[in-house]
Structure 1
Amino acid sequence: MVRFDRAVAAVLLLITLGFSALTAQQIRSVATSQEIRMAVLSAQPGDEIVVNDGVYDLGETLIITRSGKEGLPITIRAKNRGKAELTGSSHITVKSASYVVIEGFLFTMTNGPAVLLEGSNNIRVSRNIFRLKETKQSQWLHITGNPKEPLRRSHHNVIERNLFEKKSQLGNYITLEGSKKPELLISQYDTIARNHFRDIGPRVENVLEAIRIGSSEFTFARSHTIIEQNLFERCDGDPEVVSVKSCDNVIRHNTFFECFGVLSLRHGNRNTIDGNFFLGNGRTGTFLDSTGRTWQLGTGGVRFYGDSMTIVNNYFEGLTGRKWDGTIAMTSGNAEYGQGLPLTKHYRSRWTLVAFNTLINNASHLEIGYDGEGFQGNWWHLPPSDITIANNLIVGSTDTLINLYTEPINAKWEGNILHATDDAIGMSRPVRTGVAMKYVALEKRDGFWRPAAGSVPVDGAEGEYRTIVADIEGQPRVAKKDVGADEQSTAPVRNRPLTASDVGPDSK
């Protein structure tokens, strides 16, 4: 009997402790700026702070230093998505904290950053609308180190399902950096996913990218950032829509629609661009630079420098950019690693793989070795070296499908198929092997062109390329791969061109 009583008492104690733990997690409804501040100051792991509909000016930066726990985050969210507006000076700084969720707000404050993460980890910024009122240069969301704890690195933060729109002053929608002293510590393992970036511009010469990952100081820093399944629409502010300036990042399964500029691997090494859609829709424009020169603007694809880049499974259609804004722009460089030159230079591309991409009806297609033509007194005389260009499908009716401004050094060409129609020319210079001029039957299905059944690219790839295991739709590549971004398959489609309903605050 005593043993039974003790057992019952033990069970009751566990139930009581469990109930106490549950009741300790509070849901707090707040309706004033002061209530928001007080709730944040006393928040405990698992607490949820629900901000009622209304317009709030917090008067000064809201600093969050409280941390949640894995599975028990501190959540600060709008009661109704987009109905709690933070305006005026309502900036949010998360400082040396972890496991915090910021969700559902409309940010309209004056200048940024609307959200600043300093030396923080496992922060989730989700389903917000960023529409700031700008009077000067600023970043809208900034991930970096904590100046007072410079050795505390930011990491594993998630920026997902937000809308960023209507930025016109210098700065970025999202900037990811880190501490620079006493040592370089860039934020690591962050994810930027399912966001909608649109209408940034008009064009300036520099510093108006939608996203920047790193800077020249972080050229050799390993960031391991993932940018995936985002929609970029009319992001026109900078020659670089997304500027990657660090190492070991992955940009995959995004859609770039009518953007003046390119996805640029500007600094760093070992970055990957995989399975993205670049859709130009034939859009063009003009830009008057600071010297009074008028430039023709075009929608671009990718441009890259540095070592060991991977550009695979991408689809490019209707792009109008050339040279710096070309569809695949592999320009020459003006510096070599080890020369002691500033890291702001354009370092020669080496050991890069460009494979299994599809390029359809662009103003330019694959451009290699452009030297800058003396722009701003500069020449780029170091052509790409030791590159592999394999199993790409290029179809076009104008210009030159492969334009070699300068011959690359020790390049490997394999399995590429060109279909030049109307006035198009296959190549500006002959290549001995690895490029074939053939008729390609195409069909448009699910938003993009692909080889028809039985067409030449089907099962036509050369080489094994074992690391490329899926196509642009996420379908498996079989033993005998198809040339281009698409593999004929009946497997489920996991990736397709994105629309506004697929991303942003209201997406599933």
Structure 2
Amino acid sequence: MRLFFVPLIAAALVVVPGPSASAAQIRVTSLSALQSALDKAQPGDTIALADGSYSAGSALAIKRSGTAPAPITVTAEHVGKATITGSKTFSFAGGVSNVVLRGFKFRGGAPLSIPAGASHNRLSRNDFQLTTDGNWVTVNGDDTEVDRNVFQNRTSQGVFLQILGPSDAMAQRVHVHHNYFFNHQFAGANGGESIRLGLSNHQAYSAHALVENNLFEKADGDIEAISVKSSDNVVRYNTIRDSKGYIVLRHGNRGLVEGNLLFRSGIRFHGNDHRIVDNYVANSDGRAIVFGSGDEADSGPTSKLHDRPDRGTVAYNTVLGSSSVIDGDGGDFKPKDCVVADNIVQGTSGTLVTLPSGSTVKYEGNITFGGTAGIPSRPVDPKLVKDAAGLYRLAAGSPAIDAGVGSYPDAAKDFDLQTRTGAFDVGADEYFATGLTRVPLTKADVGPGAP
């Protein structure tokens, strides 16, 4: 066990035996003692701030790195019981790696940032409700993990979580999961996203980010709840409900949007070679999946215009709405060489699929019901039944069973994450008499108290 000697503040810092000879468990009861412990931290150390409210007038500088097997953990002694207020917050140095920041309530006026050059750090089980405008948390460092946090309750412009990177690249392999994004009520026209993954001038850069298993409720600060403005990202298994904001591939290419459960929300995409598969989208207002407008054929690396959807694949989704359930925003440049295949599209009236004239789209295997199809399809009742979680699934004897056509390997697992067998069933659900049944995420599944 290592012992720390801290002149003048010894009463505020208590060292207890660590789990090994090379790690310390350090309890502090003031911010000055916390900073002293941060300055001396070694791989494997855990520094715990006692319950209470602390006003930070200067940055809490994290300058020491852990290792992958022995990270440095900076934590509230009890999750949610140590509150940071004031004009400053934690500050990560540019080369810091393998540090976990966990369990704090942030209620001050300072945004939190992971800088470029800092890698393999983790923000976990924190509660962000700041008093400042702008972006509350920005991740510029590679391999950052953002998990089990809550971002909540704002009316000002700015995003809850921005993922960006250096000026000439994107942060790589950022993993955002099991977070709760709640109640963004900015009333302006633009700039109130829950997550923004890139910027227009980063659209050509690959990020390889993974955004999964997050819950969004009342994401009303922008029409984009998740705004993707970079390339080669995956957005999967999220739940969005009662929100104005959609999952939007606004700029960039080669995105995968898979297995999301959306209620009164939807998906919109621009750009090239996106795959929209196995999603369950129930938007009673219509416009569940939208081919975005094309203001130009192919966006340049810094363009802010809307890029035409090229070679996009929309396959094996269950899409429920009123009319214009799968829709297009038009523009001078229409969707080109796209595919709409093996979806269940069910509405209540009007034309169900309304892509603009001049679009070049291959349609195959789709089942439409409840309105005028608007495309070549099988206009037949898919026999959907509502399960205990409120999801409409295939019933035994549905004409969607074993009716998929074409080859779409991205849809090899259905929205329950079960492997499809034989000829795939049309829509997001592969019918199994028994087996796994996924349910929408709830607050118990995400945020600081999640498993």
TM-score normalised to structure 1 length: 0.82
Q: Distance in 2 between matches of 1:494 and 1:28?
A: 44
Residue among 471, 479, 484 paired with 2:422: 479
How far apart, CA to CA, are the structure 1 residues paired with 2:84 and 2:226?
27
Q: Is the 8 A contact 1:212 1:245 kept in 2?
A: yes
Say whether 1:458 aligns with 2:401.
yes
Indicate the SS of the match to 1:478: coil
| Residue in structure 2 matched with residue 10 of structure 1 by the alignment | none
1:412 paired with 2:396, answer no
Structure that is richer in helix per residue: 1
RMSD of the TM alignment (CA)?
A: 1.8
Which whole-Å CA distance do the structure 1 matches of 2:446 and 2:181 have between them? Answer: 9
Question: Could you tell me how far apart the structure 2 residues matched to 1:21 and 1:50 are?
Answer: 15
Identity in percent: 33
- CA 1:456–1:366 in 2, change beyond 3 Å: closer, same or farther? same
Within-5 A mapping of 1:89-238 = 89-95=87-93, 96-110=95-109, 112-134=110-132, 137-144=133-140, 154-180=141-167, 184-238=168-222
Query: Which residue is 1:328 aligned to?
Result: 289
TM-score (norm 2): 0.92
CA distance in 2, matches of 1:278, 1:270: 21
How far residue 21 of structure 1 moved from its aligned partner, in angstroms, is 9.8
d(CA) in 2 for partners of 1:194, 1:106? 17
Q: CA deviation at 1:465?
A: 1.9
Structure 1 unaligned blocks of 5 or more = 1-18, 145-153, 281-299, 372-379
Query: Which range moves more in the overlay, 163-172 or 112-121?
Result: 112-121
Paired AA for residue 158 in structure 2: G
1-side partners of 2:84 and 2:115: how far apart?
17
Q: 1:40 to 1:495 in 2, by over 3 A?
A: farther
**Separation (CA, whole Å) in 2 of partners of 1:240 and 1:81:** 31
- CA offsets, 1:458-501, max 9 Å, x none? 11111132332100010111121100000012575374311111
Q: Hey, what's the Cα distance between the residues in 2 that align with 1:220 and 1:262?
A: 22
Q: Give the aligned partner of residue 488 of structure 1.
A: 431
- Alignment of 1:345 with 2:294, yes or no, is no
Q: Deviations over 1:91-111 (max 9, x none)?
A: 11212210000111111011x
Determine if the alignment matches structure 1 residue 258 to structure 2 residue 234: no
Alignment-mate amino acid for residue 504 of structure 1: G
1:155 Cα deviation after fit: 1.1
CA distance in 2, matches of 1:441, 1:353: 25
- The alignment covers a number of residue pairs equal to 433
Deviates more, 1:395-404 or 1:170-179: 395-404
1:367 Cα deviation from its structure 2 partner: 0.5
**CA shift for structure 1 position 436:** 1.5
Measure how far apart 1:20 and its partner are: 11
Shift of 1:381: 0.7
1:40 aligns with 2:38: yes
Structure 2: tracts of 5 or more residues without a match: 1-16
Over 3 Å counting, the alpha-carbon distance change for 1:361 and 1:216 in structure 2 is: closer
**What residue number does 1:499 align with?**
442
Distance 2:198 2:425 in 1: 35
1:447 alignment partner AA: G
Find the aligned partners of 2:18 and 2:319 in 1 and give their Cα distance: 61
Q: Verify: 1:25 aligned to 2:23, yes or no.
A: yes
Give the secondary-structure state (helix, strand or coil) at the position aligned to 2:86: coil
Over 3 Å counting, the alpha-carbon distance change for 1:21 and 1:404 in structure 2 is: closer
The 2-side partners of 1:233 and 1:353 are apart by 27
